[in-house]
Every structure is written in C-alpha cells, then in structure tokens.
Amino acid sequence: MSLSVNLRGSDPVLILGGTAEARSLASELMAAGRNVVSSLAGRVRDPALPVGEVRVGGFSIGKLDGVTGLAAFLVDHQITAVVDATHPFAATISANAVAACARTGTPLLRLERPGWRTHPDADRWLWVDSIEQTVQAGAAYARPFLTTGRQSLAVFAEGWADKQVTTRVVDPPECTLPARWQLIRSRGPYAYADEHALMSKAGTDLLVTKDSGGTHTAAKLDAARDLGIQVLVIARPVAVGDATRVGTTTEALDLLEPWFE
C-alpha cells in the first residue's frame, strides 16, 4: 500500500482478527466514524468479540480456496482496505491476505505486535524454528510447561509422552493427552505472581512458548528467569509479501486516517 492511496471513506475496512490488537483497532476505527468488518477464524469456542460487524469462519467455501474466497469477499463487500491483525503465527491467513489483496488491488496493512527478540533475557533463551525442533530441543528436560496452544499438542503428546508436562490451553485439546500430563484451561492475561506460583508448584524445568510478543502472556518469561528455568522460544514464521507493516494500533490508525478521502 503506497502513501498516495485514497480509501473510500464510506466503505468498510476489513480487519482480519483474533488478537487484542485487532479488537482495539476495530474500536478505534469505529470511534473515528469508520465502517469496519472484523473477521474471525472461528477456532475458539467463546471468543472475545470486537465491536461492530463480525463475520466468522474461513473464506474457503465449496470449491473456492482461501485466496479466491477472500478475494471474492473483498469485491462483494466493497472492502476499501484490509488490515491483517492476525496472530504472528497465523501464517496461512496472512499469506492469503497478501495474495487476495494483490489480486483485487486492495490496500493491505499488516499490524503485528513486536516479538520478544528484544526482551532483556532473549539471548539466554533457546530459539527454535518449529514444533519438531522444540520436541528435540526439550528432550533432556523432565517437567516442561508447554504454552504453545492447542493446535500443536498432538505432536508434543507423541514426542513427550514420558515427561511430566504441564500444558495450558483456552479450549479443550482435540487429542488424548498422556496420563502423566497436567492440563490447565484458562485464558490470559496472566500475572507474574500466578505464573511464578504455577511453575514453582509444577517443578517446571523448561518453559516452552511461541514468540507471541506483547504483554498479555509475558509474565511467564520473568517468572521463569527468577526461578532459574530454561526458556525455549519458537521463532515466528517468515512473513511473505510486501505489505506495509506496523507494530501497534496507534501506528495503524496514524497510517490509515490520512488515506481516507
């Protein structure tokens, strides 16, 4: 999206969401009198909903793949711009947004919260690139605290069946967990004292996390440091495409507002 772009002020901005930043942007744009449609994947049973219009579910419908379905949505709903505010690890929808926006000539802004690479302890952490590498890198640890979400649990359940894993997810897992594992169901944000108590009680020797960034789930990193627990971080997938990128809702608003006609 170039700085010479003019957005049609009355037509909706599509926010690809599922994050706190997406909800915050929807509120701010609506407060500024803009028309907004937010899109959620529909994975979480009881999602936090943004204000304004919300659609739920993937764009691949029938014979349409995700890119074609999203491109059709952009045209049918006269979307003036797309803000991809999805989670840093939601790589498929981000790639689909790049392709669908290129196909339809729709301006695309990527709102992605900064990661934890700049965290003061980041150089003490183990960094890996995939779930499979995580399983290998954690082989020597007995009591991991696994906070990488529900989708990857089956791989860990196979590779770490003999460990005393504590895992924390929002919705129930779709796979059977090993008998030795402890399952915690909750949704952040999490406070330092609670994270400290949780890992102390579980006897955690390895904290496993994605490089999600932000503050909602960052307290576990400080608690792990203070407890002398090794942290293992899965690095973000490499971004595709050349969308304009911003790190905060405020930056997104500052960029978008002058573009409206």
Residue 218 to residue 209: CA distance in whole angstroms: 10
Q: Which of 7, 14, 16, 29 binds ligand NAP (CB under 6 A)?
A: 16
86 contacts ligand NAP (rule: CB under 6 A): yes
Q: Which of 27, 35, 60, 68 binds ligand NAP (CB under 6 A)?
A: 60
186 contacts ligand NAP (rule: CB under 6 A): no
Shorter beta-carbon distance to ligand NAP: residue 119 or 210: 210
Q: Cβ–Cβ contacts within 10 Å for residue 246, how many?
A: 21
Residue 38 to residue 15: CA distance in whole angstroms: 5
The mark string for 132-151 relative to ligand NAP (x by CB under 6 A, - otherwise) is -----------------x--
Contacts of 246 (CB under 8 A, 6+ apart): 109, 110, 111, 112, 252, 255
Q: Which of 30, 52, 53, 58 binds ligand NAP (CB under 6 A)?
A: 58
Residue 39 to residue 191: CA distance in whole angstroms: 29
What is the C-alpha end-to-end distance of the chain, expressed in Å? 15
24 contacts ligand NAP (rule: CB under 6 A): no
18 contacts ligand NAP (rule: CB under 6 A): yes
Q: Which of 41, 71, 109, 218 binds ligand NAP (CB under 6 A)?
A: 41
Q: Which of 13, 25, 40, 243 binds ligand NAP (CB under 6 A)?
A: 40
89 contacts ligand NAP (rule: CB under 6 A): yes
Residue 156 to residue 135: CA distance in whole angstroms: 6
107 contacts ligand NAP (rule: CB under 6 A): no
Question: How many residues form the binding site for ligand NAP (CB under 6 A)?
Answer: 23
Please say whether the beta carbons of 238 and 211 come within 8 A: no
> In the complex, which residues of this chain contact ligand NAP (CB under 6 A)?
16-19, 39-41, 43, 58-60, 66, 69, 86-87, 89-93, 96, 149, 210
